[in-house]
Amino acid sequence: MKHKTIAGKRMMGLTSMLLLLTLVLAACQAAATATQVAVATQKVVPTDTAMPVASTSEVTLQIATDPKLGQILVDGKGMTLYMYTKDTADTSNCTGGCLAKWPPFLTQGKPTLGGGIDASLVGTAKLADGTMIVTYNHMPLYYWVNDTKPGDDSGQGVGSVWYVVAPDGKPVGMQVASASNPPSTSGASEATLKVADEPNLGKILVDGKGMTLYIFTNDGPNKSNCTGDCLAKWPPLLTQGKPILGDGIDPSLVGTAQLADGSMIVTYNKMPLYYWYKDTKAGDDLGQGVGSVWFVVSPDGKPIGN
């Protein structure tokens, strides 16, 4: 009888220990599950590394050379900077949705300046939220949201109010420069397109005054990829109506395409036509072969010498 009592007590003790162990394990498992749920429900905030806003410290302002636009202002990572021509001196008029597309170039201190930057032109202005935007020649500087890597300048000329900035503080490409004897761009009426005989190149396209016309092989069909300083050196053959055609011109190859400012450039075989600013008189063809991308055009629409 005594042995049965002892055995019974041992059995009860063992059962109690197993019950306690089960409860401990259940509590640990519940705690682990709660921790996993807490971690799983934490909100993950996405970050955009493509667009620097430079708002946490001093920023760097430097100069880069763009193949088409020349020397322009960029930040310390080479991201292109722009000015908004509707801004006024030391005042940003870009707000709300505008700032979402054109993030400001912010700083908390005096910007670090690279070689070629005119320190006398560098300043800051206060935005509505109290942050400080860097200014150059008293004009606030911005990024363009669609530029994703150094060298991008897809904001150039947007809306005819956004432009990259030259080291002298002027907007690049805001107005087409003219040579001392600029060729007419036929912007006020219908352009004239005809064929001329050039001693070395043969039959080529010219305008109504005999000025040589060129195509840019980096253009696409009915699309001009010449902007900013490019257009300053290669003024477009513009028209306001259907071009007047001379003998030898194939009417089926003649068309127009719209430039960023809304003006219409004449196309031939779907390629936009341009002048070369160094050609000052009829018969000049100094633009032939420039950069291995600019060529005079034959009456069949093909570039000559390409």
Cα–Cα distance measured from residue 95 to residue 114, given in angstroms and rounded to the nearest whole number:
29
Residue 202 sits in the same domain as residue 286: yes
In a domain, 75, yes or no: yes
Region 183-198 average pLDDT? 71
Which amino acid would we find at residue 43?
K
Whether the Cβ atoms of residue 260 and residue 173 lie closer than 8 Å to each other: no
Residue 189: predicted pLDDT: 61
Q: Does 237 map to a domain?
A: yes
Q: Is position 41 within any domain?
A: no
Q: Does 46 reside within a domain?
A: no
Q: Which pTM does this prediction carry?
A: 0.44
Last residue of a domain, one of 164, 179, 208: 164
Residue 178 in any domain: the answer is no
Residue 284: both structure tokens together: 């000049």
Contact predicate 213/207, CB 8 Å:
yes
State which of 120, 145, 164 marks the end of a domain. 164
In this prediction, residue 298 carries a pLDDT of 97
By CB atoms closer than 10 A (0-12, 13-18, 19+), residue 219 is buried
Residue 306 lies in a domain: no
Domain boundary among 121, 144, 164: 164
Q: How do residues 204-251 score in pLDDT, each as one tens digit?
A: 999 999 999 999 999 999 999 998 888 888 999 988 788 999 999 999
In the predicted model, what is the mean pLDDT of the chain?
Answer: 82
**Number of domains forming the structure of the chain:** 2
Q: Which range of residues forms the domain containing residue 213?
A: 192-296
Q: What is the pLDDT of residue 252?
A: 96
Could you tell me if residue 27 is inside a domain? no
Residues 140 and 203 in one domain: no
